[in-house]
A = this chain, B = another copy of it.
């Protein structure tokens, strides 16, 4: 797998020196362009030639130098993935999914995880990355506006995961937030809950609006008055869920169910309930969103909305590659948003009100 340095050549520092096209050409008795053609599959070489080249290649353990190729072709086969919160288990899974998909298509992932969407620290990422990268995928929880504005201006092909906003003129891939919120609301309503609190995500975060809005509408359509469906602000993390739930318990002891922006919020809410010696789901039902791995391991296990992270990542990469082929100017469905189906995962944290 590793060029065994069959020539025995070594640099002065002792590291084996990689064979080049020239070495292969010489050994095979052809010109270097012939080798290049055989390797890239351009033109049809004589079987003899092809064999000679291949033998030389394996003998020398030759591998193309991707840097030289990139310089020549102007394409690096690198995808910049920018992620802003690796603490949220959703994002690592998304990153992994993009990596798997990208690798399948012959691309690699250049990672940038030091972004602070709020202050536009994305510039760091950008300055490191933009030039060498064929395209970008953003996987962000924070408000992504500064990020995508930059990318939009740079005209570098970009796909947004974790964005669900028709006003943004960039390709987007997101879970079907609307359907998820609908499923969550209906689930609680069908169980018989009438007084349902909703703990929102961080203000301005990509999914806060769509998830909250549809949840609210679904409750209204079921005839639940707004006074019975209070909304609180969380921050997308357990801390925010804990605080919001505490506030809720202090003011509205009549609530029988809490729906959350995401699973991490729900985890915080469950802890607040636990600290208040309330039982889940007997006293209060809790439902999350995302179905992170941890959701199966809370006490009680969390009922939630499952999103297919692998699918999200795969579709994002596919769209990006299509963008790369199409070139700018060409629409290629540039600004359309793709939504990945979600489903309800019933576990232990929801039950009829007692």
List which A5-48 residues lie within 8 A (CB) of chain B.
13-16, 18
List which A57-97 residues lie within 8 A (CB) of chain B.
63-68, 70-71, 76, 78, 81, 86-87, 89, 91-93, 95-96
What's the least CB distance linking A106 to chain B, in Å?
A: 8
What's the least CB distance linking A180 to chain B, in Å?
A: 22
Residues of chain B within 8 A of A100, CB atoms compared: 113-114
Chain copies in the assembled complex: 2
B2 x A131 contact (CB < 8 A): no
B2 x A126 contact (CB < 8 A): yes
Q: Out of B99, B110, B112, B327, which one reaches A113, CB within 8 Å?
A: B99
A86 x B81 contact (CB < 8 A): no
| Nearest-CB residue, chain B, relative to A13 | B327
Number of A residues near B (Cβ < 8 Å) is 64
Stretch at the interface among A164-172, A216-224, A245-253, A266-274: A266-274
Residues of chain B within 8 A of A124, CB atoms compared: 103
B131 x A65 contact (CB < 8 A): yes
Judged by a CB distance under 8 angstroms, whether A119 is at the interface is no
Judged by a CB distance under 8 angstroms, whether A108 is at the interface is yes
Judged by a CB distance under 8 angstroms, whether A128 is at the interface is yes
Q: Out of B2, B92, B103, which one reaches A153, CB within 8 Å?
A: B2
Residues of chain B within 8 A of A13, CB atoms compared: 327-329
What's the least CB distance linking A49 to chain B, in Å?
A: 25
A sample of 21 cross-chain residue pairs with beta-carbon separation below 8 angstroms, ordered by A number, consists of: A1-B126, A2-B126, A2-B130, A2-B154, A13-B329, A14-B328, A14-B329, A15-B327, A63-B131, A64-B131, A66-B132, A67-B70, A67-B76, A86-B92, A96-B114, A99-B111, A100-B114, A103-B124, A103-B128, A108-B110, A109-B111
